[in-house]
Structure 1
Amino acid sequence: MPSFPTVYTLPPDKLLKAEALGHARTLAHFGGTAWTLIALWLLVQSGLGARIAGWAARITPRRWLQGILVAPLWLLVLTALDLPASLYLHLQYRLYGISVESWQLWLSDFAKSTALTLIVGTAALAVLYALFRKSPRRWWLWFWILAIPCEIAAVFVVPITIDPLFDHFSPLAQNNPALVRSLGRVVQRGGLQIPPSRMFVMDASRKVAAPNAYVTGFGASKRIVVWDTSLTMETPDEILSMYAHEQGHYVLHHIYLGMLYSFAVMLVFFWIGARLLAWASARFGARWRIRSLDDWSSLGLLFLAMSLLGFVAEPVANAFSRWEEHAADVYGQEALHGIVADPQAVTAESFQRLGELWLEDPAPNPLVGWWTDSHPSVAERVRFAAHYDPWQPGSHPRYFPPSP
């Protein structure tokens, strides 16, 4: 029998916590979405959009100035509707010891996030409503075309300008130069040029008591980020395993593929959204006091459609994400060959530890997982890692040449 886990399990006390936390996550996600959709539906039916638009029109006759008044109010409404689920989930993470974030820090992050939402959201809505007026039939296509460079710019800029507003990043070489040298072996094995200046440590320990790592950005902003919790909660070989997975996202061009997939999904859902909004405004506009789609009174209806389509799009986006994550798992385990003594053991043990620290349910609901999970379940990842050995006779690795 292997000396490493081949099946993901939890001791009885942690299993009860994992199951309870899994139920809490499900309630927060689906319950929060249902609450938001119902509340928006009631607000739209009440004619609130017309009252807010009428108030803005009495202040200024200029459409774009009306938008500067109306859009932030509706964005604050949407933020307030999302708040109960966010608070509930934060309480649950604190209860089960995963979150150690103080309420002061949580509120600070919430305030920053809300401010960014108001600034970026107001600008995006101003452009969208200008397109409503200029091109009533093709606004969705023009907005999609404009969204492409904006998303590319966001992926480039966010790691440099936005992420540091919420967390502190420092060079990994300053924190753990020995680890950087070990990581360099994995980098070399992948045939990459990732200098230490692209490797960072994030001070996640202020907020969580569990490890993680991720890749973000592209071009000059591309970077690999390891949480400081990983440095204290995982063995050096397990950190190498986590890093090798993240390097897989680089090598397999997942950031670029993810953006292309996002563009394709956005095009389809913008087209669906255009037809849904046209039907709803024609069918119910008079009842809801929405004069036309390009009038600011329709903003509540727009948010209702966006929330509904965003919920429907979740399993589509998550299925693609799970495919990318599994490919990175395969790459990561193969990249460790010849660097650690037993890649199977290291990878399986790493996933086991992650599951224990994050209290992941060994037997999650398949439907919930299909809808909400961006990664394969920990049980799937442990099982795969424990049985994947492409270097044995008769087998071939997927991303590396076989041993001579």
Structure 2
Amino acid sequence: MRIRIFAVLLFLLTAIVPLLKAQASAAQGTQQTPAAQEQKTTTNDAGAAYSLPPEKLAKAIAYSRIRVILDFLGSGWGILQLVLLLALGAVARMRDAAVGLSANRWVQGFAFALLLLLTTTLLGLPLDLYAHHAAVEYGQSVQGWASWALDEAKSFLLVFVFGGLLVMLLFWVIRKSPNRWWFWFWIPAMLIVLLSVFIAPVLIDPLFNKFEPLAKSNPALVDRLEQVVTRGGVQIAPERMYLMKASEKVTTLNAYVTGYGASKRVVVWDNTIAKATPDEISFIFGHELGHYVLNHIPATLAFLGLLLLVEFYLGYRGVRWLIARYGKRWGVSSQNDWSALAVLLLVLAVLSFFSEPIINGYSRMHEHEADVYGQEAIHGIVADPQATAQQAFQLLGEISLVDPNPNPFVEFWTFSHPSVASRAAFAARYNPWTPGQRPKFFNK
């Protein structure tokens, strides 16, 4: 987790929105289904379903360690840098510079935001640079440094503009309701989540990747995906199916459904088409479609909305306590002081770190549901759903250099999906069409 000036905005856009695209809960009742009965996977089953040759296994273990270290180091450094900036008086000097620039609060707010955003971005740059270097070194990325820097600049500008507006709203709410701002600010924050999910595929995603109609180059795949969509009872017209040219930047695979309402669309990466079979693409897509068909978005909004409300309240309490205890030393006079933003970011950074396993545990549960749905969705479309799903996980794991035996603590804390090995083992074993069994999400 890289802490930036607008931790609130980043929490919304980098934590909630991806979860809305990828998972949430569906009320399925308490009856045990084949999926629930067989969800536990033994180590032997997992090893048999997903494995890597010795050379690739060594690379997967090494790369997994790098990512884990960067993950925890990034979280720790993000928190520490805010503490240092406050303790050394850097935040107070930024505030003084912004206030001295103009009497206009908009100028002050955006100036202070720019200074703090630029400082934290530069402090986090070494880890970002190394992360991209490692991705290239281990074959996960083919993006050149110029292209990477351009994407980083775009992200910076987006966070500055939209985050700056959000910060101005935050301080306006604080002035209007000093003791209840955490609640009143939560309401527009959740509206921003909804707006972000709607506009991201139309306005944001095209800034970073190229898209074209899928029918233009792969009409046969459009027909196949329409079969999966029809089996799921969803209406997605062929003109809403797109090819994303991911191969210009990464080597990994994906296919997903994004947006909602008028912005809903199917996206298939060109890497997926090049490296996976139509059957495997159907399963990958069926998994993602399951998140929509199972009404996961409303449930995720409710879950994460409640979590965000709790974090805002604890943020309010934490800011008041820290300012009362360290405000004079840090040069932060009150929660209405521009520099109080850094204090709030510090509290939210700590809360976000410790809420990570909660969010990831929630996500893993629903990713399993989507696996079940995806396998059932391709029944009757592919010859062998079990083998297709297992082979898809094998392919995804090999290309992404996924360690077959991740550390249990790391999996608990950082994995938003069940381990690839356990997913592959479940896929190979799950067959609800045998006599005496029944599918969980389909009648047949």
Q: How does 1:204-223 map to 2 (within 5 A)?
A: 204-223=246-265
Residue 281 (structure 2) aligned to one of 222, 239, 247: 239
> Shift in Å at residue 57 of structure 1?
2.1
| More moved, 25-34 vs 189-198 | 189-198
| More moved, 145-154 vs 75-84 | 75-84
**SS of corresponding position for 2:49:** coil
Q: Which residue of 2 aligns with 1:81?
A: 123
Does residue 336 (structure 1) correspond to residue 378 (structure 2)? The answer is yes
Deviations for 1:126-171, whole angstroms, at most 9, x for unmatched residues? 1111122211100100100111211111110111000000001111
Does residue 153 (structure 1) correspond to residue 207 (structure 2)? The answer is no
Query: For residues 243 and 68 of structure 1, what CA distance do their matches in structure 2 show?
Result: 42
Does residue 185 (structure 1) correspond to residue 227 (structure 2)? The answer is yes
Does residue 113 (structure 1) correspond to residue 155 (structure 2)? The answer is yes
Residue 279 (structure 1) aligned to one of 321, 329, 332: 321
Q: Which residue of 1 aligns with 2:403?
A: 361
Query: For residues 256 and 175 of structure 1, what CA distance do their matches in structure 2 show?
Result: 34
Q: Is the 8 A contact 2:255 2:281 kept in 1?
A: no
Query: For residues 226 and 367 of structure 1, what CA distance do their matches in structure 2 show?
Result: 33
Q: How does 1:288-367 map to 2 (within 5 A)?
A: 288-367=330-409
> Shift in Å at residue 381 of structure 1?
0.6
Does residue 61 (structure 1) correspond to residue 94 (structure 2)? The answer is no
Deviations for 1:63-105, whole angstroms, at most 9, x for unmatched residues? 3331121111112222223322221111111111111111111
Query: For residues 317 and 197 of structure 1, what CA distance do their matches in structure 2 show?
Result: 34
Query: For residues 233 and 263 of structure 2, what CA distance do their matches in structure 1 show?
Result: 20
User: What residue identity is the alignment partner of 1:329?
Assistant: D
Query: For residues 227 and 255 of structure 2, what CA distance do their matches in structure 1 show?
Result: 18
Query: For residues 83 and 58 of structure 1, what CA distance do their matches in structure 2 show?
Result: 28
Query: For residues 78 and 113 of structure 1, what CA distance do their matches in structure 2 show?
Result: 14
**SS of corresponding position for 1:285:** helix
| More moved, 334-343 vs 300-309 | 300-309
Residue 256 (structure 1) aligned to one of 281, 285, 298: 298
**SS of corresponding position for 1:170:** strand
**SS of corresponding position for 2:268:** strand
> Shift in Å at residue 338 of structure 1?
1.1
Residue 270 (structure 2) aligned to one of 228, 249, 259: 228
Query: For residues 106 and 156 of structure 2, what CA distance do their matches in structure 1 show?
Result: 22
| More moved, 63-72 vs 265-274 | 63-72
**SS of corresponding position for 1:309:** helix
Query: For residues 20 and 219 of structure 1, what CA distance do their matches in structure 2 show?
Result: 42
**SS of corresponding position for 1:208:** coil
Query: For residues 223 and 85 of structure 1, what CA distance do their matches in structure 2 show?
Result: 34
Does residue 194 (structure 1) correspond to residue 250 (structure 2)? The answer is no
Does residue 17 (structure 1) correspond to residue 59 (structure 2)? The answer is yes
Query: For residues 287 and 53 of structure 2, what CA distance do their matches in structure 1 show?
Result: 27
Does residue 270 (structure 1) correspond to residue 312 (structure 2)? The answer is yes
Q: Is the 8 A contact 2:319 2:340 kept in 1?
A: no
Q: Which residue of 2 aligns with 1:388?
A: 430
Aligned length, in residue pairs: 399
Q: Is the 8 A contact 2:47 2:404 kept in 1?
A: no
User: What residue identity is the alignment partner of 1:47?
Assistant: G
**SS of corresponding position for 2:212:** strand
Query: For residues 166 and 222 of structure 1, what CA distance do their matches in structure 2 show?
Result: 18
Q: TM-score when scaled to structure 2?
A: 0.87
Q: Which residue of 2 aligns with 1:125?
A: 167
**SS of corresponding position for 2:328:** coil
Residue 46 (structure 1) aligned to one of 70, 81, 88: 88
Q: How does 1:128-143 map to 2 (within 5 A)?
A: 128-143=170-185
**SS of corresponding position for 1:194:** coil
Q: Is the 8 A contact 1:5 1:348 kept in 2?
A: no
User: What residue identity is the alignment partner of 2:234?
Assistant: L
Deviations for 1:370-401, whole angstroms, at most 9, x for unmatched residues? 21111111011101101100010111110011
Query: For residues 383 and 103 of structure 1, what CA distance do their matches in structure 2 show?
Result: 38
Query: For residues 271 and 101 of structure 2, what CA distance do their matches in structure 1 show?
Result: 52
> Shift in Å at residue 356 of structure 1?
0.3
Q: Is the 8 A contact 1:5 1:352 kept in 2?
A: no
| More moved, 210-219 vs 328-337 | 210-219
Q: Is the 8 A contact 1:6 1:386 kept in 2?
A: no
Does residue 30 (structure 1) correspond to residue 37 (structure 2)? The answer is no
Does residue 376 (structure 1) correspond to residue 392 (structure 2)? The answer is no
User: What residue identity is the alignment partner of 1:231?
Assistant: I
Query: For residues 398 and 184 of structure 2, what CA distance do their matches in structure 1 show?
Result: 47
Query: For residues 16 and 167 of structure 1, what CA distance do their matches in structure 2 show?
Result: 31
Query: For residues 346 and 265 of structure 2, what CA distance do their matches in structure 1 show?
Result: 36
Q: Which structure 2 segments of 5+ residues have no match? A: 1-45
Query: For residues 248 and 345 of structure 1, what CA distance do their matches in structure 2 show?
Result: 19
CA 1:369–1:236 in structure 2 vs 1: closer, same or farther (change >3 Å)? same
> Shift in Å at residue 290 of structure 1?
0.7
Q: Is the 8 A contact 1:315 1:372 kept in 2?
A: yes
Q: TM-score when scaled to structure 1?
A: 0.96
Q: Which residue of 2 aligns with 1:90?
A: 132
Q: Which residue of 2 aligns with 1:400?
A: 442
Query: For residues 301 and 341 of structure 1, what CA distance do their matches in structure 2 show?
Result: 57
Q: Is the 8 A contact 2:186 2:309 kept in 1?
A: yes
Query: For residues 84 and 377 of structure 1, what CA distance do their matches in structure 2 show?
Result: 29
User: What residue identity is the alignment partner of 1:381?
Assistant: R
**SS of corresponding position for 1:296:** coil
Q: Which residue of 2 aligns with 1:164?
A: 206
Query: For residues 50 and 97 of structure 1, what CA distance do their matches in structure 2 show?
Result: 43
> Shift in Å at residue 239 of structure 1?
0.8
**SS of corresponding position for 2:330:** coil
**SS of corresponding position for 1:287:** helix
**SS of corresponding position for 2:139:** coil
User: What residue identity is the alignment partner of 1:157?
Assistant: I
| More moved, 32-41 vs 14-23 | 32-41
